[in-house]
Amino acid sequence: MAERIEIRGFVIHRGWLDRPAQERMVAGLRDVVAAAPLFAPETRRGRKMSVRMTACGDFGWVSDRRGYRYEPRHPGGTPWPPIPADILDVWDALSGTARAPECCLVNWYGEGARMGLHQDRDEADFMQPVVSISLGDEGLFRMGNVERGGSTESFWLRSGDVVVMGGEARLRHHGVDRIRFGSSTLLPQGGRINLTLRVVR
């Protein structure tokens, strides 16, 4: 059984996926990335984010000088590939909602990549949780408040951990300060993959 840890309403299912399940998930993601190549999103100011991204499902999240938004197509023009069944299984087991996820955002953290503190608020219904799956290298996940600023708490997420951001945690600020590059042997090239499942509309 995976251990359940709750910090500020973020529910961390420690070790939810065993190693074979993680390996199968990574294999499925290779097909996703082949159909929808990773890209480096640009902020509105024209800076490249350090995390590389792609998505699967009905929508993917894109960020460029026109702003942040969900789109039904990859920046290359093709529709996003479907969400693999084993990823949907995690949502079904842990989301606690009857709705199906419409987006699985794929974040790839190489050496030195990070994600600043932010809220996930481009979705229409904040009653729907975001379910986050970690694969590969460990990442230092920081959890803050709904308002900007104030105290934060951090937790090292490991490969196979799943975080459910729902209820009071849904609009809390969170981010990834850094990864421990090379701490996991799951991805031969190193790095960390984070998947976030979301209901968009």
Ligand X SMILES: O=C(O)CCC(=O)C(=O)O
Instruction: Enumerate binding residues for Fe ion (CB under 5 A).
Output: 120
Question: What are phi and psi for residue 92, nearest 5 degrees?
Answer: -60, -35
Q: How far is the CB of 120 from Fe ion (least distance, A)?
A: 4
81 or 133: whose CB is closer to ligand X?
133
Q: Rounded to whole angstroms, how far apart are CA atoms 120 and 53?
A: 15
Q: Rounded to whole angstroms, how far apart are CA atoms 132 and 105?
A: 9
Residue 115 binds what, of Fe ion, ligand X, none (CB under 5 to 8 Å, by partner type)?
A: ligand X
Does position 139 bind ligand X by CB under 6 A?
yes
Q: Rounded to whole angstroms, how far apart are CA atoms 36 and 32?
A: 6
Q: How far is the CB of 70 from ligand X (least distance, A)?
A: 12
| Residue window 79-118: x/- pattern of binding to ligand X, with contact defined by CB under 6 A | --------------------------x-x-------x---
Q: How far is the CB of 109 from ligand X (least distance, A)?
A: 7
